[in-house]
C-alpha cells in the first residue's frame, strides 16, 4: 500500500466556477491556466473547460503549447509574451495571442516573417510592473499597426489592488488611465482579473481573465456579500490519512522546536503529509483541519513528511486510517493561507509529490 496522501481536483466545480465568472463578467472570459493551472493540472483543466471556455491564458509559450498538444483549439493568450524570435515563430505556427509589453517584443514582431499574429498591447495603467506607459500607447499602437505580420491589436492592463474593496481610488485611477490611453484605439480590451470580475463591474470590458476564482477562491470575499463569490466551489482538496497516534501527558511537547506543549492529556494524530508536499511549514498551532468530517486543529510544527493534529475531542473510533482534509471543501484554503502568512495562490501552486485524482471528469 502506498502513502495515503493525494490531491482531489473536482472538475465539475471548475466548470461551475467558469460559468459563474462568465455570468458575472457579462462577456468573454479567459480561463487562466498558467503555472499548471495554479497547481490543478493545466491539461486536464483545459480539457474539462474546452466546451465552455472562450479562451485560455498562460504565462509563456511552452505552457500554451502543452494546451495545444492536449487538443485545445480555442484562443490562448500568452500573458508574458515572447521571450525571443523562436517564441514569435511558435506563436504564429500555433495561433497563440501574444501580449506585447516592451520595446524588444515590438522589434521581434517587426522582424517576424511567418504567419500573421494577433497581439495584445499591454498598458501600464498604474501597477508599474510591465507594460508601456499610458501616454505612449497610441505611438506603440501605430508602430504595431505598421508591422505587416501583425493582423490584429487588442489592449490589456492588469489591476494591482482590485482585491481592496474598501480602497477604490487606485483601481479607479488605473481604469481611468487605461480608458484614456486606449480611447481612440480599435480592438478588444481586457482588464479584469478575478477580483475585478467579482467586485468591479466598471472594469468589465470585452474579455475578463479569471484565475483564482476559477479554482473556487474569492480573494475579495471576506468583506463582501457578493453572491458570485459566495457560490464559488473549491476545486482542490488536499487529503491524507492518520497513520499513527499517541498520547501526550500534560506538560509534554511534540515535534521540532516544541512549539506545542500539551495543557491536558492530548491524543495526537500523525498525518502522512508535510511541507515537502506543499503544506506550509509556517502554519501555526491551531490551524483548522478536518478529520473524518470533524473540524479540529494542527498542533506542533509541520515536518517535511508528516504533521500532527489534535484528536482529543474527536470520537474514540476516529484514529489510524481516518481521512484528513488539509484544505478544500471543509477547510478553506484561504484560512490556511492567512494563518501561514501567505495567499491561496501560493499554496495551490506549491502542491507536489502527491498524486492528483480527478473527480467528476
Ligand atoms: C496578467 C494577469 N491576468 C490575470 C491573472 C489572473 O488573476 P487572478 O488569479 O487573480 O484572477 C493574472 C494572475 O496573476 C495575471 O498575471
Residue 1's pLDDT is 82
- The CATH number assigned to the domain holding 157 equals 3.20.20.10
Q: What is the pLDDT of residue 224?
A: 55
* 134 and 212 belong to one structural domain: yes
54 in the same domain as 199: yes
**Which residues belong to the active site?**
34, 256
| Total count of domains within the chain | 2
Domain of residue 320: give its range: 236-359
- Residue 26 CA to residue 20 CA, distance in Å, equals 10
What pTM was estimated for this model as a whole? Answer: 0.97
Q: Please identify, by atom number, the ligand 1 atom nearest to the C-alpha of residue 158.
A: 1
Pocket residue to mutate for ligand 1, from 21, 56, 79, most atoms within 8 A of Cβ:
79
Q: Are 209 and 290 contained in the same domain?
A: no
Same domain flag for 210 and 263: no
The answer as to whether 108 is a domain residue is yes
Distance, CA 184 to ligand 1 centroid (Å)?
A: 26
**Positions in the chain whose pLDDT score sits under 50:** 223
CA-closest residue to ligand 1 atom 14: 211
- Is 29:54 a contact under the CB 8 Å cutoff? yes
Residue 5 domain-assigned (yes or no): no
Residue 275's CATH number: 2.40.37.10
Which atom of ligand 1 lies at the shortest distance from residue 162's CA? 10
Q: What is the pLDDT of residue 225?
A: 59
Which of 219, 246, 278 is the last residue in one of the domains? 219
Residue range 266-288, pLDDT digits in tens: 999 999 999 999 999 999 999 99
Question: Which atom in ligand 1 lies closest to the alpha carbon of residue 219?
Answer: 10
In-domain check, residue 3: no
Same-domain status, 131 and 266: no
Q: Are residues 317 and 201 in the same domain?
A: no
Q: Which residues line ligand 1 (CB under 6 A)?
A: 32, 79, 158, 193-195, 209-212
User: Is residue 76 in a domain?
Assistant: yes
Amino acid at each position: 500500500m502506498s502513502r495515503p496522501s493525494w490531491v482531489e481536483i473536482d472538475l465539475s466545480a471548475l466548470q461551475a466556477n467558469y460559468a459563474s465568472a462568465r455570468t458575472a463578467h457579462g462577456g468573454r472570459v479567459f480561463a487562466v491556466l498558467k503555472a499548471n493551472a495554479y497547481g490543478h493540472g493545466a491539461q486536464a483543466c483545459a480539457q474539462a473547460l474546452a466546451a465552455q471556455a472562450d479562451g485560455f491564458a498562460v504565462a509563456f509559450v511552452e505552457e500554451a503549447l502543452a494546451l495545444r498538444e492536449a487538443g485545445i483549439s480555442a484562443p490562448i493568450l500568452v500573458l508574458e509574451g515572447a521571450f525571443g524570435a523562436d517564441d514569435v515563430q511558435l506563436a504564429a505556427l500555433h495561433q497563440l495571442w501574444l501580449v506585447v509589453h516592451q520595446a524588444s517584443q515590438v522589434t521581434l514582431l517587426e522582424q517576424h516573417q511567418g504567419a500573421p499574429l494577433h497581439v495584445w498591447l499591454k498598458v501600464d495603467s498604474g501597477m508599474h510592473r510591465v507594460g508601456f506607459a499610458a501616454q505612449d500607447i497610441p505611438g506603440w499602437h501605430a508602430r504595431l499597426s505598421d508591422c505587416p505580420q501583425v493582423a490584429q491589436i487588442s489592449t490589456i492592463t492588469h489591476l494591482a489592488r482590485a482585491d481592496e474593496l474598501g480602497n477604490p481610488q487606485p483601481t479607479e485611477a488605473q481604469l481611468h488611465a487605461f480608458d484614456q490611453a486606449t480611447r481612440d484605439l480599435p480592438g478588444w480590451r481586457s482588464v479584469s482579473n478575478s477580483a475585478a470580475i467579482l467586485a468591479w463591474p466598471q472594469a468589465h470590458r470585452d474579455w475578463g481573465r479569471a484565475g483564482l476564482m476559477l479554482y473556487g477562491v474569492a480573494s475579495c470575499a471576506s468583506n463582501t456579500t457578493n453572491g458570485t463569490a459566495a457560490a464559488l466551489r473549491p476545486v482542490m482538496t488536499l487529503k491524507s490519512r492518520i497513520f499513527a497516534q499517541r498520547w501526550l501527558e500534560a506538560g509534554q511537547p511534540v515535534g521540532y522546536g516544541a512549539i506545542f506543549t500539551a495543557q491536558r492529556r492530548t491524543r495526537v494524530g500523525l498525518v502522512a503529509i508535510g511541507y515537502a508536499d506543499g503544506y506550509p511549514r509556517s502554519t501555526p498551532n491551531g490551524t483548522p483541519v478536518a478529520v473524518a468530517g470533524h473540524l479540529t486543529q494542527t498542533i506542533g510544527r509541520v515536518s517535511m513528511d508528516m504533521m500532527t493534529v489534535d484528536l482529543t475531542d474527536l470520537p474514540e473510533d476516529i484514529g489510524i486510517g481516518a481521512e484528513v482534509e488539509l484544505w478544500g471543501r471543509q477547510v478553506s484554503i484561504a484560512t490556511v493561507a492567512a494563518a501561514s502568512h501567505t495567499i491561496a495562490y501560493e499554496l495551490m501552486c506549491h502542491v507536489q509529490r502527491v498524486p492528483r485524482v480527478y473527480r467528476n471528469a
